[in-house]
Chains A and B, each alone.
Chain A
């Protein structure tokens, strides 16, 4: 295995394009190093992106949105007061990843590119309408986060395509988001189901909604029909129950050692309902 420390993304792209064998990028390394140790998917080339200037920065853009560098750690996100206030749901998704030790290394981009359907920060990013900047030999493009994952462990990124940052849109008043997951323990577990909800209100009525389900299909899925039940409503018990059933219906989970299909279908509805309530309360409070 060869270890590379490029000092720019274009250098990283060049290395990646000329490498043969399996290429992996080292952001926080909390997935890659574990895989190396187990001997699964051991890369032939490991390209460390942390030496590239700017990758650990969180920047407020002119349009009022945020750009989060590819190597920004979970701890950096949670410690960022303004960002956490605007996007509590996205930040709490990342905060659920691992423990304090993992938090000081793990990144949003690594979580996304590892391609797990149970990745905790991904539903929140998608619900927020986030994009990633992807650099390749033909330049930089902006891609919706939801277009990156394609299946367990698989992404749409081709050889020599590297994510440089995550971009969040401007946060407006009367908007709120939330992410909740179900695990049997209280931490250090993989989501059995997870759900992110992002809402914007007008006079306490839901004007737009995005609902994203995790761990109930081969990849994180946007649940548009579930989001549609919320439009024009102000989230009473009746709507919540319809919404909950819709999420259960949309979920296409498998049975495995972490939970049965039946259990996941049932509990995704419960978690989605609770996440929607939390997002709604946050939107109400965001004046």
Chain B
């Protein structure tokens, strides 16, 4: 609460200093996952299933084991047999047991003295498979006679008569739906589909692990959250968590995809089997695409009622999402986001989490929200077009605000959707005139954000500079933001703060850098911990001055007497207090541990201008605007970076990214050549507007900003393409092939 209302008087917050990790990163000195090595280290390689679904009848690695330099070979036999529930699913996904569930599923792993030898050994492992029928598409998997991915996979929630591939079912809503639709002047419905998209982080997964026979081990790994790695590896391998010490490397992107395990338990098991030698595994890009990530594919029915003035009266959705062979699609989050931007009396949500022979879905930036936005925001746009209403005005009329009860339950505190819509409407991009074959699309998006388990410490160095220890890896500039908040709290220069990301043994449990939480949660915790040290400094100064600690206050890096009654003392600087610590009671440090609450929800509104080549179906993005509520932009450049990054990933998902499977269920485009992430020249400058409606539950007003930005691009581009061509595409990606077909035949792609 403290500084919330003195909004504009910050000294450091809102400035744009260089990030402390920047120099090392641009000079190549920073250590990423694959840069870690140790004496005596072995190299691991993983044998992967060439089939989408197959029974593993036998594995013979005698020949491979005889190769010079091969030190260990592991299969599922080297892992505990008694795992259940989520740990069993994690184990199954790490290494196949009786059945390989997807193309790329790990079957065995080798550790050898060189990468080359390890890969040669893989070729010598003989696996006998019995190929089983597979299913890839979510609607196919929903059919009663679909090939069964995993027997008895459905939980208690699954309604009787569902396909055996339904893992869970969810239903919620409020209000009288029939009545809601009755009040509408038009009711429209549609089927919408999105393909799976990969997080596409530039750094492939990499780790080095060491594990002794007694269960004591260490791991260096590229991850968003090393406590998660520790927890999951311990569960899979039946280790005592505290005996495994996990240190994160720098990280070249994660976007949610690095919040779980893939190769890590394999490296540990290989290390143990080779007598405790460190083992490094680095994935290739093709392994990354075949066996990690992506997010779910979705098939979605939406129905919405609207009055002729544009008021939304009711909405229903049924989302079917495929999240791979073990379930875990973000269908529940997708449903929560579907109507979250709007005040609607009657809403009804149904969701199915469906299994298919694909890699297990991992989190991806605002999991579920982009698909939901695509379906709902596209349909709203169709209705605005039908009724000739301005899409921003319609959203303003229906927008949620402070006090609104959200479509999925919780009541919103202070939020900034209306401010964001207004800012968008005033931006020059909204009124630039368009030419032939050009169109403009508007869409909103939402993400609830997350606080989560957080543990930090702050300590004073002997010269008055400050060390901050956090457990959230720095992906998007959080060291800089945390340093700015620390500098603000103490009133000391930004350069006098060093933020370190510590290993699992040094702090309590920390959730990963996910849910847009690092700046919000670690920042809030650091503020608390820093204030503990400030209180301690004031206490020591009070003792020196022989006055009551309450009569000392802290300002701009100095302990000062609180007014004339306290006495006439010269303020003492943090530098002096620090230099005398050894005589005044020893080290000064603070720490904070809690499950951080009070996340600020973040809404975004995007405007896309596109041009469609009527002869080839190629879509060019001409202009793009992101407006989003950041609560408070601690470091505006990194907030803009998040906005732009989210937009770019959304543009890729909307236009050209997709998983292409062959008839055999194998992934055909497991490389960046054919998994088409946008390249720099595909994109216009992404304009940004940072809206600041402070989060009342954060000391500096921060809301998470990392995720919301990926949701609106999917519908914004679909709406722009529809405006440019008068043809509506209801299936992503809007690749040239699909767009040209739509132009010729009116086919919406579904």
Q: Is A189 an interface residue (CB 8 A)?
A: yes
**Chain B residues in 8 Å Cβ range of A51:** none
B contact patch SS:
loop
Contact A260 B737 (CB under 8 A): yes
Q: Is B36 an interface residue (CB 8 A)?
A: no
Contact A187 B681 (CB under 8 A): yes
Partner of B673, one of A189, A192, A260, A263: A189
Tell me the B644-693 residues at the A interface (CB within 8 Å): 655-656, 660, 668-669, 673-674, 676, 678-679, 681-682
Tell me the A178-197 residues at the B interface (CB within 8 Å): 182, 184-190, 192
Q: How far is the CB of B304 from chain A (nearest CB, A)?
A: 32
Contact A257 B616 (CB under 8 A): no
Partner of A189, one of B617, B676, B737, B740: B676
Q: Is A266 an interface residue (CB 8 A)?
A: yes
Closest chain A residue to B735, Cβ basis:
A184
Tell me the B678-719 residues at the A interface (CB within 8 Å): 678-679, 681-682
Choose among B119, B668, B735, B737 the residue with the greatest number of A CB atoms under 10 Å from its CB: B737
Q: How far is the CB of B114 from chain A (nearest CB, A)?
A: 15
Contact A267 B669 (CB under 8 A): no
Contact A266 B668 (CB under 8 A): no
**Chain B residues in 8 Å Cβ range of A262:** 741
Q: Is B615 an interface residue (CB 8 A)?
A: yes
Q: Is B618 an interface residue (CB 8 A)?
A: yes
Q: Is A258 an interface residue (CB 8 A)?
A: yes
Closest chain A residue to B620, Cβ basis:
A186
Contact B737 A190 (CB under 8 A): no
Contact B678 A185 (CB under 8 A): yes
Partner of A267, one of B668, B674, B681, B740: B740
Q: Is B587 an interface residue (CB 8 A)?
A: no
Contact A188 B679 (CB under 8 A): yes
Given the known inter-chain contacts A190-B673, A257-B660, A257-B668, please indicate yes or no for A185 contacting B679, CB distance below 8 A: yes
**Chain A residues in 8 Å Cβ range of B616:** 182, 267, 270-271
**Chain A residues in 8 Å Cβ range of B660:** 257
Q: Is A39 an interface residue (CB 8 A)?
A: yes
Chain B window 570-605, contacts with chain A (Cβ cutoff 8 Å), 1 for yes, 0 for no: 000000000000000000000000000000000000
User: CA–CA, A187 to B679, complex, Å?
Assistant: 7
Q: Is B20 an interface residue (CB 8 A)?
A: no
Q: How far is the CB of B1 from chain A (nearest CB, A)?
A: 48
- Total A-B pairs, Cβ < 8 A: 51
Q: Is A259 an interface residue (CB 8 A)?
A: yes
**Chain B residues in 8 Å Cβ range of A267:** 615-616, 736, 740
**Chain A residues in 8 Å Cβ range of B119:** 39
Partner of B682, one of A185, A192, A263, A266: A185
User: CA–CA, A267 to B740, complex, Å?
Assistant: 9
**Chain B residues in 8 Å Cβ range of A186:** 679, 681-682
Contact B740 A184 (CB under 8 A): no
User: CA–CA, A39 to B123, complex, Å?
Assistant: 11
A contact patch SS:
loop
Given the known inter-chain contacts A39-B119, A257-B660, please indicate yes or no for A184 contacting B679, CB distance below 8 A: no
**Chain A residues in 8 Å Cβ range of B655:** 184
Interface size class of B (residues with CB under 8 A): 20 to 34
**Chain A residues in 8 Å Cβ range of B679:** 185-188
Closest chain A residue to B678, Cβ basis:
A185
**Chain B residues in 8 Å Cβ range of A271:** 616
Closest chain B residue to A39, Cβ basis:
B119
Tell me the B608-624 residues at the A interface (CB within 8 Å): 615-618
Closest chain A residue to B677, Cβ basis:
A185
Q: How far is the CB of A106 from chain B (nearest CB, A)?
A: 15
Given the known inter-chain contacts A184-B618, A186-B682, A257-B660, please indicate yes or no for A263 contacting B676, CB distance below 8 A: no
User: CA–CA, A262 to B660, complex, Å?
Assistant: 18
Tell me the B337-382 residues at the A interface (CB within 8 Å): none
**Chain B residues in 8 Å Cβ range of A192:** 736
**Chain B residues in 8 Å Cβ range of A270:** 615-616
Contact B676 A259 (CB under 8 A): no
Closest chain B residue to A192, Cβ basis:
B736
Contact A259 B737 (CB under 8 A): yes
Closest chain B residue to A37, Cβ basis:
B284
Chain B window 713-745, contacts with chain A (Cβ cutoff 8 Å), 1 for yes, 0 for no: 000000000000000000000011100110000
Q: How far is the CB of A280 from chain B (nearest CB, A)?
A: 18
Q: How far is the CB of A111 from chain B (nearest CB, A)?
A: 16
Closest chain B residue to A267, Cβ basis:
B616
Given the known inter-chain contacts A185-B679, A185-B682, A187-B681, please indicate yes or no for A257 contacting B674, CB distance below 8 A: yes
**Chain B residues in 8 Å Cβ range of A190:** 673-674
User: CA–CA, A235 to B673, complex, Å?
Assistant: 36
User: CA–CA, A267 to B681, complex, Å?
Assistant: 22
Closest chain B residue to A255, Cβ basis:
B737
Closest chain A residue to B675, Cβ basis:
A257
Contact B736 A184 (CB under 8 A): yes
User: CA–CA, A187 to B682, complex, Å?
Assistant: 8
**Chain A residues in 8 Å Cβ range of B669:** 257
Closest chain B residue to A182, Cβ basis:
B616
Closest chain B residue to A263, Cβ basis:
B737
Choose among A39, A186, A187, A256 the residue with the greatest number of B CB atoms under 10 Å from its CB: A186
Contact B668 A184 (CB under 8 A): no
Tell me the A145-202 residues at the B interface (CB within 8 Å): 182, 184-190, 192
Closest chain B residue to A269, Cβ basis:
B615
Partner of A184, one of B615, B676, B681, B741: B676
Partner of B740, one of A39, A257, A263: A263
Q: How far is the CB of B50 from chain A (nearest CB, A)?
A: 14
Closest chain A residue to B740, Cβ basis:
A263
User: CA–CA, A20 to B119, complex, Å?
Assistant: 24
User: CA–CA, A95 to B719, complex, Å?
Assistant: 35
User: CA–CA, A262 to B617, complex, Å?
Assistant: 13
Contact A185 B656 (CB under 8 A): yes
**Chain A residues in 8 Å Cβ range of B674:** 190, 257-258
Given the known inter-chain contacts A39-B119, A257-B660, please indicate yes or no for A185 contacting B737, CB distance below 8 A: no
**Chain A residues in 8 Å Cβ range of B740:** 263, 266-267
**Chain A residues in 8 Å Cβ range of B681:** 185-187
Tell me the A246-287 residues at the B interface (CB within 8 Å): 256-260, 262-263, 266-267, 270-271
**Chain B residues in 8 Å Cβ range of A39:** 119
User: CA–CA, A257 to B669, complex, Å?
Assistant: 7
Q: How far is the CB of A193 from chain B (nearest CB, A)?
A: 9
Q: How far is the CB of A115 from chain B (nearest CB, A)?
A: 17
Closest chain B residue to A256, Cβ basis:
B668
Q: How far is the CB of A184 from chain B (nearest CB, A)?
A: 5
Q: How far is the CB of A242 from chain B (nearest CB, A)?
A: 16
**Chain A residues in 8 Å Cβ range of B741:** 262-263
Chain A window 37-69, contacts with chain B (Cβ cutoff 8 Å), 1 for yes, 0 for no: 001000000000000000000000000000000
**Chain B residues in 8 Å Cβ range of A189:** 673, 676
Q: How far is the CB of A34 from chain B (nearest CB, A)?
A: 10
Contact A185 B676 (CB under 8 A): yes
Contact A263 B656 (CB under 8 A): no
User: CA–CA, A189 to B674, complex, Å?
Assistant: 8
**Chain B residues in 8 Å Cβ range of A184:** 618, 655-656, 676, 735-736
Contact A263 B678 (CB under 8 A): no
Q: How far is the CB of B247 from chain A (nearest CB, A)?
A: 29
User: CA–CA, A192 to B740, complex, Å?
Assistant: 14
**Chain B residues in 8 Å Cβ range of A256:** 668
Chain A window 106-127, contacts with chain B (Cβ cutoff 8 Å), 1 for yes, 0 for no: 0000000000000000000000
User: CA–CA, A39 to B735, complex, Å?
Assistant: 31
Q: How far is the CB of A109 from chain B (nearest CB, A)?
A: 22
User: CA–CA, A271 to B736, complex, Å?
Assistant: 14
Known: A185-B678, A187-B681, A266-B740. 4 other contacts (CB 8 A): A184-B655, A257-B660, A263-B741, A270-B616
The 5 closest A-B pairs by CB, nearest first: A186-B681, A270-B615, A257-B660, A263-B737, A257-B668
Residues of A at under 8 Å CB distance from B? Answer: 39, 182, 184-190, 192, 256-260, 262-263, 266-267, 270-271
Q: List 12 A-B contacts (CB under 8 A).
A: A182-B616, A182-B736, A184-B735, A185-B681, A185-B682, A188-B673, A189-B673, A189-B676, A192-B736, A257-B668, A259-B737, A267-B740
